[in-house]
Structure 1
């Protein structure tokens, strides 16, 4: 039986988020190009057919601020102020493993991770978290696992070592990802600055 609706009493349409706001660090252009150069090796050595993400999308997520239908500018302003309060000197990060994360069936992330060389990044993620909590910004309590997503594929690969990829993290970025549109807007950039513990 078909249910009729009266004019002015239509069922409300579901609200679908269009934006995902998160903090991240990104490899410099030379490092991003080196990562993109792995595509031939992935095909020949690991039989991965899916295309890599664009180099402009390579990143390591530090904290997610959630999904939004529209991102309120006042919220962005608070997020920017919190990021600007963090004082950490530039540091190195090394990724030396490749593996698959669970993800959704048929859409599993293939990622780079680090067996060692991500300790300073984890410390930075914690410092940023303290600044966000001080600004009363809600963040995920999930355990931080530093990873850089290369692509999404149907198959799953076992973890294996790769030639280490190292770069110096010199800035923090706040990204607005347009969900389902593979488009990023950078809402803020903050050069890392601060005194090294050894100074």
Structure 2
């Protein structure tokens, strides 16, 4: 038997079309009970603090697996529910084979999340690691080297940069050589691409660039 908590007529029809008499639909959240089956699906049209409070109270302490069906599933919402002990997360109106797969896995103490959201989660994590690596590389630069790097990223020539910092162009070129070596880029074009892909841009507020 499957227990569903939902106040949506359209979602209830969707579930009943798949499960027929094998589903119990309730309109309000109840303390999970193994008597109603090993899986409880909660329909959450949108993120709810009330639901989060309920999950914090019951999700990790109950032997009943809890899944949240969202009308607009997203990575951040999925991660928030997961932290509260939810074992499954899905699109409210996904097809029957996916619901049956979710049910089978959760009733066997496993988890189920949309593959597309998992892929996006891994991509966000990868970008975060790349950005962290980029920050670490920038930390190797001196203050003057950072200033010159951002000046280059903002499209300034060596002549303009030299005038801005009161140095000669030869010194700017020397700084750029050191910057290229530390950041492992081959020229100023590669430097601009490197900084722009991580949105490392410093706005100049002096009006002299």
| TM-score bin (small chain) | under 0.3
TM score, norm. by length of structure 2: 0.23
Bigger strand fraction: 1
Structure with greater Cα Rg: 2
| Higher percent of residues as helix | 2
Higher relative contact order (CA 8 A, sep 6+): 1
* TM-score, normalised by the number of residues in structure 1: 0.23
